[in-house]
Amino acid sequence: MKPNFEEELNKYILSKAIIPNSLGLWETYFKKMCLAWGEIAPNITPQHLIFAADTGPDVESALQFKRDIVRKGLTLHAGHLETVEDVIAHVGGFDIAAITGAMVACSDLHIPFVIDGYITAVAMACATRLNANTPLYGIPSHYSREVGMQSALAYSNIRLDEVPIHGGMALGEGTGAVLMVQLLKTAHFAFINIGSMDDLLKL
């Protein structure tokens, strides 16, 4: 990122015919994306945003089965769960391992990414432990109704008021992330294409 880019970005946003901070989270995430890219890109392209889907059935029988598996795993691997790498390797599952690795890679490559539901929030917590800069690139999409979502997000210093979609979802198809990508595209389009105050005053 070139020197003074953040200052340049702030001036760009202030030049727009928008009341400062009136777009709330959309201004926050527009800035977050531009800072990650190191430029004010004219378009969002597939390599700019990566989202991860997760799954989370909340039928009581399924939840009880999961609890039993977790208890057995913790008992089996007791004494071998000291680091994040240990936890992922012994009880994390391939999905969390892959998503965590992808998030760390995105951070290394300065690519913003969208967090979906609970599984991806857990992966985000793991990625934050592995690379403290990960929260600079992660953008939350929705607040899943699954127990533990708030704690997982909090580990990466993401507050509930920073999560735009509160739809009570736990579908498991990446729905929150898909919705968020469209919202980010809309916000990005607005900031890129809306007129400046100077243009407005010339009318």
Q: Per the domain annotation, does 10 fall within a domain?
A: no
Reported as a single tens digit per residue, the pLDDT across 123-138 is 999 999 999 999 999 9
C-alpha 139/C-alpha 91 separation (Å) is 26
Q: Residue 129's pLDDT is what?
A: 95
Pick the more confident residue, 185 or 56: 185
Domain containing residue 127: CATH number: 3.40.50.10210
The CA-based angle 14-16-21, given to 5 degrees, is: 55
Report percent pLDDT > 90 for the chain. Answer: 53
Active centre residues (catalytic) = 173
Q: Per the domain annotation, does 66 fall within a domain?
A: yes
72-90 b/e with 16+ CB inside 10 Å = b?
A: eeeeeeeeeeeebeebbee
Q: Per the domain annotation, does 21 fall within a domain?
A: no
The total number of structural domains in the chain stands at 1
Q: What is the mean pLDDT of residues 183-190?
A: 91
Quick one: pLDDT band at residue 21, thresholds 50, 70, 90? confident
Q: What is the mean pLDDT of residues 11-30?
A: 84
Q: What is the mean pLDDT of residues 161-190?
A: 87
Q: Per the domain annotation, does 172 fall within a domain?
A: yes
Q: Per the domain annotation, does 59 fall within a domain?
A: yes
Predicted TM-score (pTM) of the model is: 0.82
Reported as a single tens digit per residue, the pLDDT across 81-103 is 999 999 999 988 888 999 999 99
Q: Per the domain annotation, does 7 fall within a domain?
A: no
**How many beta carbons lie within 10 A of that of residue 29, not counting itself?**
22
Q: Per the domain annotation, does 72 fall within a domain?
A: yes
Q: Residue 170's pLDDT is what?
A: 77
| 92 three-class SS | helix
Q: Per the domain annotation, does 77 fall within a domain?
A: yes
Containing structural domain, residue 172: 45-183
Residue 199 has pLDDT above 80, yes or no: no
